[in-house]
Amino acid sequence: MDTNQLAQTILENVGGEKNVTSLVHCATRLRFKLKNRDLVDKTQVEAIPGVVTVMESGGQFQVVIGNMVPEVYEAIGAISNLTNDDSTETTTNKDETIFGKFIDLISTIFTPLLGVMAGAGILKGLLSLALNFKLVMPDSSTHIILNAIADSLFYFLPMLLAITAARKFKANIYVAVAIAGALIYPTIIELTASPKAVHFFGIPIVMVKYTSTVIPIILAIYVMSIVEKFLNKRLHQSIKNFITPAILLVTIVPLTLMFFGPFGVYVGNGIASILTAIIAFNPIIAGAVIAASWQILVIFGLHWGIVPVMINNIATMGKDPLKPSTAISVFAQAGASLGVMLKTKNKEFKALSASAALTALFGITEPAVYGVTLRLKRPFLIGILSAAVGGGIAGYAGSAGYASGPSSILMIPAFYGPNGEGFVGFLIAIAVSFTLAAVLTYLIGFEDIPSETTTETNNKDTIQPTTSVQSETIASPVNGVLLPLSDVKDKAFASGILGNGIAVVPSTGEIVSPVDGFVTVAFKTGHAIGLLSDEGAEILIHIGLDTVQLDGQYFDLKVEQNQHVKKGDLLVAFDLDAIVTAGFDVTTPIIITNSTNYEDVIPTEKQETQMGDRLITLL
């Protein structure tokens, strides 16, 4: 399935654009905020080809895709208004908790900056190495230029956060940037170093330096958004476009300098001091606990509560003692995936594990965690244990991160500080966690995924797909009246994006197998079933439209996933009259989901069909 088809299918299965309050994405996930969660079948979304898994956390419905997520996000934007930065949709989920709202706030503000943070962080680390090995001199113009390139993001961080915060709080982005610019204006920065007392109309101001800070600008833009909405409701249309920005600038900047700024800086310094004290008390235990818990936090999306703390530590202390442990957890999961790759006998799963391990090394752990280690359970636990060992080593060595950004093999230079303190220990820690996870996973083992290509032909309990499709005839699985797929009152089916086929309006309440083959998907709700014929056809039979909402009521599933069936075997029994009485359309699409593998998919031209009749010819 290409990105356009994947985007269309995902959007349809989350209830369409009308059911989505907002959509953002991170490195691997589409993060939906839904108006009505009850309209969405999580299992059905997870079954979409191209979707790794679905997570729900922090009030978000998170569809994990992997490295293709930017392309899918862009494709959704092409068919909807969900990626429009100027959207003013303010509908919220009333059931969302305060903590969930906080996680959503942090993730929305910081996610757009993670990529450039990683790039700048790599450059800062490489520049530190170059200085240490005297490849460049600190007073040279070359170093001045390179340092400006690497440090500009962090120096002007309040301005970038002003943009993302303004989008989140639905405030004027340009006014927000102007406020941030005033906080880091050269003469304002000079006042922080001045021995003279600073006053604003006689009111004393405690001057602090705002470059690289996080909390003050977020507080400022939040207050600005409230004041802006208040003014826009009360000022006349003819003047509010220029009077509102003027009032905001002249009020929010002084308020930030007097209150929000010092409060935010003191809070940030306080958090940094507490963390420093904890790590200083026992750095080994602290490092081990952080490393062991990080991937668990990531699974539930709770790590976003810690990201601004780490960024703030770098801003206030010049380094962050938490970041090495988070990086070590990434390498541990990569090692566990490598161990799975070496151990598994399943060729397809071996390829998946190898790809997931490589992707994890470059900072994207979702394919490794959701697709490999967590799926097998034991490797995930081994990864946590190995990360704890590595975290303890990094804590003992006093390792720290000196730049922000997602942890990966490319970010290793960002852990090299001015004097190289703790860097060797960090290298040892990631090597130990990676190797230990791989070796333990291989030695301890796991319950392997049954092979789909090497199974004996007489084994009737596992799927045996062929490497290539062959021409074949698909029989009718049900009695009823035939409809062209284009007449189905469901855009996903009617458009053909799921594949070519035909639809039947059933006259009886039984679905039988149209081929000899294997059951690949057997929804517990019984409303849909997937088959793989012995000749290679992938078939989806979807009983009725939106019948997933019945949650299995009136359906009786007769088979299990991976079960081998013969043509004519009963797959599902259902109460046709009850489903119709409940108000559901019983039109049943029969789709060849791998239609692109065939030269032609030819539905029958008959108007009615009986079980066993020729329904579709595949060439």
**For residues 229 and 233, what is the distance between their CA atoms, to the nearest angstrom?**
6
Strands 29-34, 20-25: pairing is: antiparallel
Known active-site residue 8: no
**For residues 533 and 519, what is the distance between their CA atoms, to the nearest angstrom?**
9
Q: Which two tokens stand for residue 373?
A: 């280690």
**For residues 66 and 44, what is the distance between their CA atoms, to the nearest angstrom?**
18
Describe the crossing of helices 98-110 and 157-169 by its angle, rounded to 10 degrees.
130
- Determine which helix (DSSP H) or strand (DSSP E) holds 541, and give its type and residue range: strand 538-542
What is the secondary structure of 455-520 as a DSSP string? S-TT--SS----SS---EEEEPSS-EEEEEGGGSS-HHHHTTTT-EEEEEEESSSEEE-SSSEEEE
| Residues 588 and 478: beta-carbon distance below 8 Å | yes
**For residues 515 and 529, what is the distance between their CA atoms, to the nearest angstrom?**
13
Whole-angstrom Cα Rg for the chain: 29
Total residue count of the chain as it appears in this document: 619
Task: Convert 179-210 into a string of H (helix), E (strand) and C (coil).
Answer: HHHHHCCHHHHHHHHCCCCEEECCEEECCCCC
Q: Which of 26, 54, 217, 512 is catalytic?
A: 26
- Determine which helix (DSSP H) or strand (DSSP E) holds 539, and give its type and residue range: strand 538-542
Task: Could you list the beta-strand ranges (E) of 93-168.
Answer: none
| Residues 366 and 374: beta-carbon distance below 8 Å | no
Q: Which positions are catalytic?
A: 26
